[in-house]
Structure 1
Amino acid sequence: MKKWMVVLVLIVASGVAFTAILNDGAYEPVHIPPSTQRTGGDAQKGYEYLTTGDYVKGGMPYNIWILGMGKDKTNFLQRTGKNADISHEYTAVTANNGEVLVAPNCMQCHAQVFDDTLIMGLGNTFIDFTANEKLNVNRLKKVESLLKLTAPNKYRAAKPFIDVAKTITPYLITEIRGVNAADRLAAVLVAHRDPVTFKWNPEAQLEIPEGVIPSDVPPWWLLKKKNAMFYNGFGRGDFGRFLMASNLLTVNDTAESHEVDTHMPDLLAYIYSLEPPKYPGTVNTALANEGEIVFNKKCSGCHGTYGTNETYPNLLIPQAVIQTDSLLYKNNYSSPQFVNWFNQSWFTTGDHPARLEPFMGYIAPPLDGIWVTAPFLHNGSVPTLEALLNSDLRPRYWRRNFNKPEYDYEKLGWKYTKENQAGGKLIYNTDLPGYGNYGHTFGDKLTEQERKAVLEYLKTL
């Protein structure tokens, strides 16, 4: 059987919508149709809920947290009360018995400090899942024992979070720092929750495959242009249902989820209000204008146009075309139990349901603010835009300084050191499964002058 016929059979068998197959076996890009979204939300209320709300209802006792972590001195969000003393990545919430807990929030992954400024909606590429620094099982057990003996009320308040954290933490260890384990987290959580009631089961009810598939976190300000969520565009329907997925960490039942769901129009209104930061350096206007012409001719078909009359085509690019590391999208087909769980769950109910529609490839994203979103590709494997446009420049092994990060405002990305071999958790190793830096070689077809001009133009987006 010819290769393209095998793929066709697989697609039909999986029930996934597809477009025409060309005679040479390559797929055409697939347009993602828009989905009805909830509107009329209040952006300010959305911001307040995002930064101080209890959408994650469990955590560690506040006084124990302060004792172990100390008071945070930055207060980037200018929060008041107990929130003023903890990192923007956490929120003080009140348990049912009145105890104050410190809960993780969305800013752990969706906000990043850049040049001493917190940029809301920017994916956090400094996060560290390599040794579970945030949720270390041994530390959790020690705190649990201490609370049982000395503070039973605090223990009762923290117990649901501790139980979940002890279960999920061993699954979330990544090979290197700076990549996200979000897909793995989602898989582990749904494996332990009933899809209809969201009740927690200490034993996994679904098979959890080995290995963590790394991902980078796309910026939130792109969402207003997109008709689907996630790198493979399989998040269809109501975006609010996907945004509230973090609620699965500590939710007791779907009654609690329904309450969180009522805040989603406000949260979406806030996310839609976000704009990318402007490039702070000097732009060569003449060169950027030259780059815009090249971009519109060579790149806009997938990534859209920018300026007065903006367009964005919302295209899924098949693997045969994009040729980037395929492990992320393939996971939907090798582990269909998770897609099925979602598509049979509470998230698909009501008058604003969501669903998952897998695709064998990735979405071509909008490029607003791309200069600040390094590293690049869906797994963060390419340190600069210069290297993204010229695959010969992509390092096989590379290291950046996480303690004192430096940004290269010309090459547009993190300053890095090219290493001769893999080693340790701070060296990005593109040989690892899921960490490949290949594919998206369209920039290789440009001349050196064209690449330089396009790079200059990307500074203006």
Structure 2
Amino acid sequence: MKSVFIIFILSAACAFCSFFIKNKKPTDPVYIEASQQRTGDAEAGYIYLTEGDYLKSGIPIGLFKMGFGKSGNDLGREGINKNIPYSFNAVIAPNGEKIVSPNCLQCHAQEFNGKIVIGMGNSLSDYTSNRTSTAKLLERFLKAGPGKEKKYEAAENFIRSVEAVSPYLVTETKGVNIADRLAALLAAHRDPKSFKWSDSLLLSIPEEIIPTDVPAWWLLKKKHAMFYNGFGRGDFGRFLMASNLLTVTDTSEAAEVDSHINDVLAYIYSLQPPAYPKPINAKLADKGQLIFEQYCMDCHGTYGKDCSYPNLLIPEEVIQTDSLLYSSNYSSPQFVNWFNQSWFTSGDHPAKLVPFRGYIAPPLDGIWATAPYLHNGSVPNLETLLNSKLRPKYWDRNFDDPQYDVDAPGWKFKTETSASGKNTYNTTLKGYRNTGHTFGDQLSDDERTALIEYLKTL
């Protein structure tokens, strides 16, 4: 009798699951399962991030200081990294030459309110020009200069990669990131199993460059998947070390870099967002919290002492933001296939890519400081994020003297009537659209003001 009862319960459960699966709507959010992540030493991770040789080829240090880079010691580093800008690391190349290479802070740090904030996405980068001529000039100089054999050997892998990818990395406007494009280009020049370089492309490259806004690193500790479309699954460290493809020689070198990435992840997990610097209207923020809990909490989670984050993917039919980023995984599947057959999927902590037609609803910690908004950085401040009717079609900001309005919060900008130059964000371009995420449109002006006051507290 007991076994019959158990069979009945199991049958009923299966019937319910079958009913749920059959009746699941395409507009329902999709939960992302957690995956095991490595742990490490945060202090060691910071040192490796800011001094480590995860790129083992670069510009000889003497030449870098002569004009290929400005000086600066924002991180207070000593030794060969003293007076090297924070977004570069000076290291010893395998042949003993001192070189300078770009580090992760090129994209994952930004000067903000007079400070370098590590973990803040760099929204001030400029990829509007082709850097091929600079790389070729560097190559000619090194081949003709004193000590040319060793210096060129130390720089060769770096120069080769920059020359190969630069023609494909020119954006329409300043301020957007090209990480997706760069990763695809580097994959297209490398064997997925050995990482050996090929001078000719092994994969076809689509015409479109996908513009993105760099997400804040301090959000990663809450997430079960990486990237805006949530398709980075498994070990996060494997994705964090992907920049190594710029100069890596083979997978034995990649494995050495991989041995430090657990520490880097521990450091990233230790990061906290900057606190809002002005007084907050507590009464207004309390009202805003109630509005948040009614309209925003289900997707973006809760904050404070008992915080929770739901890790939900939002289908395209619901979010309706620019589709180029997620759709590229389907229109150009060769890059997903390359990764899922590569060294990155091997070993005790593999990673994989799982495409989805939509985007993850991110945590909102420090949202006041992370303009521009949406995954492509098409919306300049929180007011325009929450009221789509106010979003400018063309807008400028000052990249020479960036001005952040902490009251808005967001970038100070000027609305234009047309695309007037590289400082202008043109939302009519493919990949640059500012549509979607219209959930704030239903709020009154007073409700939006209260909600923004609450968002300043996160």
TM normalised by structure 2 equals 0.94
User: Which residue number corresponds to residue 119 of structure 2?
Assistant: 121
1:46 matched to which residue of 2? 45
Unaligned runs of 5+ in 1: 1-18
Q: Which amino acid aligns with 1:43?
A: A
3-state SS in 1 of match to 2:348: coil
In the alignment of these two chains, the number of paired residues is 437
Secondary structure at the counterpart of residue 421 of structure 2: coil
Q: State the match for 1:207 in structure 2.
A: 204
Contact 1:83 1:91 survives alignment (8 Å)? yes
* Counterpart check, 1:149 vs 2:144: yes
* Structure 1 runs (4+) greater than 2 angstroms displaced: 19-23
User: What is the Cα-based RMSD across aligned positions, in Å?
Assistant: 1.2
Q: Which residue of 1 aligns with 2:7?
A: none
Relative to 1, partners in 2 of residues 1:20 and 1:320: Cα closer, same or farther, differing over 3 Å?
A: farther
* Equivalent residue, structure 2, for 1:36: 36
- Cα deviation, 1:172-211, whole Å, max 9, x if unaligned, reads 1111000000000000000000000000000010001112
Give the counterpart of 1:168 among 152, 165, 168.
Answer: 165
Residue 140 in structure 1 maps to residue 139 in structure 2 = no
- In the other structure, the counterpart of 2:76 is 78
The 1:120–1:52 alpha-carbon spacing in structure 2 relative to 1, beyond 3 Å, is same
CA distance in 1, matches of 2:154, 2:402: 38
1:389 touches 1:441 (CA, 8 Å); kept in 2? yes
**Unmatched tracts of structure 2, length 5 or more:** 1-19
Counterpart CA distance in 2 for 1:210 and 1:49 is: 35
Q: CA deviation at 1:72?
A: 1.2
Match of 1:366 among 360, 363, 367: 363
* CA positional deviation for 1:153: 1.6
Q: Which residue in 1 is equivalent to 2:3?
A: none
How far off its partner does 1:70 sit?
5.7
Q: Find the aligned partners of 2:229 and 2:369 in 1 and give their Cα distance.
A: 22
- Contact 2:89/2:100, CA 8 A, preserved across alignment: yes
Question: Residue 80 of structure 2 contacts residue 91 of structure 2 at CA under 8 Å; is this kept in 1?
Answer: no
Match for residue 216 of structure 2? 219
SS in 1 for 2:450: helix
User: Which of 227, 232, 239 lines up with 2:229 in the alignment?
Assistant: 232
Residues 52-96 of structure 1 show CA distances to partners (whole Å, capped at 9, x for unaligned) of 0001111111111111146513x1111112212221111111112
- Measured against aligned partners, the alpha-carbon deviations of 1:231-263 in whole angstroms (never above 9, x if no partner) come to 000000000000000110000000011111111
Mapped partners of 2:30, 2:288: distance in 1: 27
Separation in structure 2 between the aligned mates of residue 119 and residue 70 of structure 1, nearest angstrom? 20
SS of 1:287 mapped into structure 2: helix
Q: For residue 237 of structure 2, give the secondary structure of its aligned residue in structure 1.
A: helix
Structure 1 partner of 2:67:
68
Aligned residue among 177, 185, 204 for 1:188: 185
Match 1:316 to one of 313, 317, 328? 313
CA distance in 2, matches of 1:177, 1:386: 22
Give the fraction of aligned pairs with identical amino acids, expressed as a percent: 61
TM-score (norm. length: structure 1): 0.93
Q: CA deviation at 1:21?
A: 7.3
Query: What's the counterpart of residue 243 of structure 1?
Result: 240
TM superposition shift of 1:423:
2.2
Query: 1:59 matched to which residue of 2?
Result: 58
Per-residue displacement from partner, 1:425-446 (whole Å, max 9, x unpaired)? 1100000000000000000011
Corresponding residue SS for 1:262: helix
Residue 5 of structure 2 is matched in structure 1 by none
Name the amino acid aligned to 2:279: T
Secondary structure of 1:378 counterpart: coil
Alignment match, 1:417: 414
Specify the SS of the correspondent of 1:85: coil
Structure 1 position 111 matched with structure 2 position 109: yes
1:281 positional shift: 1.0
SS in 1 for 2:82: helix
Post-superposition offset of 1:139: 2.0
Q: Distance in 2 between matches of 1:285 and 1:377?
A: 27
Greater shift, 276-285 or 138-147, is seen at: 138-147
- Residue aligned with 1:218, SS: coil
Provide the rounded CA distance (Å) in 2 between the counterparts of 1:82 and 1:350. 34
* Matched letter for residue 287 of structure 2: E
Q: Which has the larger radius of gyration?
A: 2
CA contact (8 A) 1:32 1:315 kept: yes
> How far apart, CA to CA, are the structure 2 residues paired with 1:214 and 1:338?
17
Q: Partner of 1:270 in structure 2?
A: 267
- Counterpart contact for 1:26–1:321, Cα < 8 Å: no
Contact persistence 2:312–2:361 (CA under 8 A) = yes
Contact 2:56 2:94 in 1 (8 A): no
CA spacing shift, 1:227–1:390, aligned 2, 3 Å? same
Letter in 2 for 1:279: Y
Do 1:21 and 1:27's aligned partners in 2 also have CA atoms closer than 8 Å? Answer: no
Between 1:405-414 and 1:100-109, the stretch displaced more is 405-414
2:310 aligned with 1:301: no
